[in-house]
C-alpha cells in the first residue's frame, strides 16, 4: 500500500510460508527456438541448472500449455504456477525443462494463430520436435531420455507426440486430455476444424484416437471423473482402444471428485507424484 501523498509503499500481507521463502526458486530463461518447418522463431521458457556439468547429458521434460490459444512465455506470474514449481523440482533433481508457445498460441500474429487450421496437433508437434533438437544442441539435453506432459490441450498434444512420433519421447503424461475432437464443444472446434459434418477429414487428421496404434512408449492418463469441459468419457474411450490394440505400458489415473481444473490438494499431489514417478522410472533408469 502506498500513501496518497506519496512516500514508501509498504506490504500489508505476505502469505508465503517460511519454507517457500527459503527456497532458491529457479526462474525460467526466455529462449528462441529456430523452426526447421518454416515457422521462424518459436518462443519458449527454459528451466535448467545454474552450472552445467561438462559432458553430462540431462534428461529432458517438455511441457505443453493448455487451451491451444494461451500465451505462456512471458515474465509475469504464470497461470501455470504449479507447473513452474514442479519444473523447479525437476531441475533440482537433474532434469532440464522446455515450455513452448507453439503455433496456435496467442500473441504472435494471425498466421501463427491460424497455422493449425484443419490440422490440430501437427504444426505444434513440429515445434516440439524442433524444441527437443534445440535443447540437445544448446543445453546438453539427452535426446534418448526425453518426456512430455501437459493438461487439456497439452494432454491432447502429449497423445499426438507419443502416437505420431513414437520413440521420440520415452514417456508422456496426458492430463484431462481430448481424444476425439468430434466429441468436444463445437463452438471451440468449428473455428479450427469446421464441423464434423462439413469437414470429417479435418477431425480425423486432428484426433489422437486415429493414431493410437502408434503408441510404443510409456503413457500416463489422468482425468477427473466429473470433468465438464473435456469429459472423462474421452479417456475411457482411449483406454478401451488401447486394450483392443493390446498396448502395454500405459495407465489411467481417475479422480472421482474432480472436474477439469482440480481443486483438492490431495488430487494435485497425487497427479504430480505420478508424473514424477513416471519420469524417474523412464528417463533416468532403463525404461521398464
Name the grid cell of 212.
493410437
227 is catalytic: yes
Per-residue burial over 29-48, b = 16 or more CB atoms within 10 Å of its CB, e = otherwise: eebebebeeebeebbbbbbb
**Taking the CA of residue 10 as centre, how many other CA atoms within 13 Å lie in the half-sphere pointing to its CB?**
4
Contacts of 211 (CB under 8 A, 6+ apart): 159, 160, 163, 164
Q: What digits encode the pLDDT tens for the residues 200-254?
A: 999 999 999 999 999 999 999 999 999 999 999 999 999 999 999 999 999 999 9
CB neighbours of residue 281 within 10 Å: 15
72 burial level (CB within 10 Å; 0-12, 13-18, 19+): buried
Q: Greater confidence, 162 or 81?
A: 162
Residue 107 structural domain: 23-284
Sole residue written with cell 526425453: 146
The mean pLDDT of 112-128, rounded to a whole number, is 97
Provide the 3-class DSSP secondary structure of residue 11.
Answer: coil
Percent of the chain residues topping a pLDDT of 90: 85
| Inside any domain, residue 86 | yes
Q: What digits encode the pLDDT tens for the residues 35-81?
A: 999 999 999 999 999 999 999 999 999 999 998 888 999 988 888 88
**Taking the CA of residue 79 as centre, how many other CA atoms within 13 Å lie in the half-sphere pointing to its CB?**
10
Distance CA 156, CA 203 (A): 13
Average pLDDT across the chain, whole number: 95
| Inside any domain, residue 71 | yes
| Inside any domain, residue 261 | yes
Pair type for strands 141-151 and 96-100: unpaired
Distance CA 173, CA 221 (A): 6
pLDDT-derived band of residue 286, with 50, 70 and 90 as boundaries?
low
Residue 253: CATH number of its domain:
3.40.50.1820
| Inside any domain, residue 9 | no
Distance CA 98, CA 136 (A): 11
pTM higher than 0.85? yes
- Predicted confidence at residue 285, as pLDDT, reads 64
Q: Write down the catalytic residue from 37, 122, 186, 260.
A: 260
| Inside any domain, residue 14 | no
| Inside any domain, residue 15 | no
- Predicted confidence at residue 68, as pLDDT, reads 82
Helix (H) or strand (E) holding 253: strand 250-255
Q: Write down the catalytic residue from 152, 165, 206, 207.
A: 152
| For residue 15, pLDDT beyond 60 | yes
- Predicted confidence at residue 177, as pLDDT, reads 98
CB neighbours of residue 250 within 10 Å: 18
- Residue 167 CA, chain-centre distance (Å), reads 18
Pair type for strands 96-100 and 41-47: antiparallel
152 is catalytic: yes
| For residue 288, pLDDT beyond 60 | no
Q: Write down the catalytic residue from 99, 101, 180, 227.
A: 227
| Inside any domain, residue 7 | no
What is the number of domains present in the chain? 1
88 is catalytic: no
| Inside any domain, residue 12 | no
Amino acid at each position: 500500500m502506498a500513501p496518497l501523498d506519496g512516500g514508501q509503499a509498504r506490504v500489508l500481507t505476505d502469505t508465503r510460508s517460511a519454507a517457500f521463502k527459503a527456497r532458491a526458486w529457479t526462474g525460467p530463461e526466455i529462449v528462441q527456438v529456430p523452426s526447421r518447418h518454416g515457422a521462424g522463431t518459436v518462443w519458449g521458457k527454459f528451466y535448467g541448472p545454474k552450472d552445467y556439468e561438462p559432458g553430462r547429458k540431462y534428461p529432458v521434460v517438455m511441457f505443453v500449455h493448455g487451451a491451444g490459444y494461451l500465451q505462456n512465455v512471458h515474465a509475469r506470474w504464470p497461470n501455470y504456477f504449479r507447473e513452474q514449481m514442479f519444473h523447479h523440482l525437476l531441475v533440482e533433481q537433474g532434469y532440464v525443462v522446455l515450455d513452448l508457445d507453439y503455433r496456435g498460441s496467442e500473441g504472435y500474429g494471425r498466421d501463427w494463430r491460424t497455422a493449425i487450421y484443419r490440422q490440430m496437433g501437427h504444426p505444434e508437434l513440429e515445434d516440439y520436435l524442433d524444441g527437443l533438437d534445440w535443447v540437445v544442441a544448446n543445453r546438453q539435453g539427452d535426446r534418448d531420455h526425453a518426456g512430455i506432459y501437459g493438461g487439456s490441450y497439452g494432454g491432447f498434444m502429449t497423445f499426438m507426440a507419443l502416437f505420431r512420433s513414437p520413440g521420440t519421447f520415452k514417456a508422456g503424461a496426458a492430463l484431462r486430455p481430448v481424444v476425439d475432437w468430434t466429441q468436444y464443444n463445437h463452438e471451440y472446434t468449428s473455428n479450427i476444424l469446421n464441423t464434423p459434418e462439413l469437414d470429417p477429414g479435418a477431425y480425423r487428421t486432428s484426433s489422437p484416437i486415429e493414431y493410437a496404434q502408434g503408441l510404443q512408449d510409456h503413457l500416463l492418463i489422468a482425468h477427473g471423473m466429473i470433468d465438464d469441459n473435456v469429459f472423462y468419457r474421452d479417456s475411457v474411450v482411449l483406454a478401451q482402444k488401447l486394450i483392443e490394440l493390446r498396448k502395454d505400458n500405459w495407465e489411467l489415473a481417475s479422480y472421482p471428485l474432480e472436474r477439469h481444473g482440480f481443486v483438492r490438494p490431495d488430487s494435485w499431489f497425487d497427479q504430480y507424484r505420478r508424473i514424477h514417478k513416471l519420469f524417474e522410472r523412464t528417463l533416468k533408469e532403463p525404461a521398464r
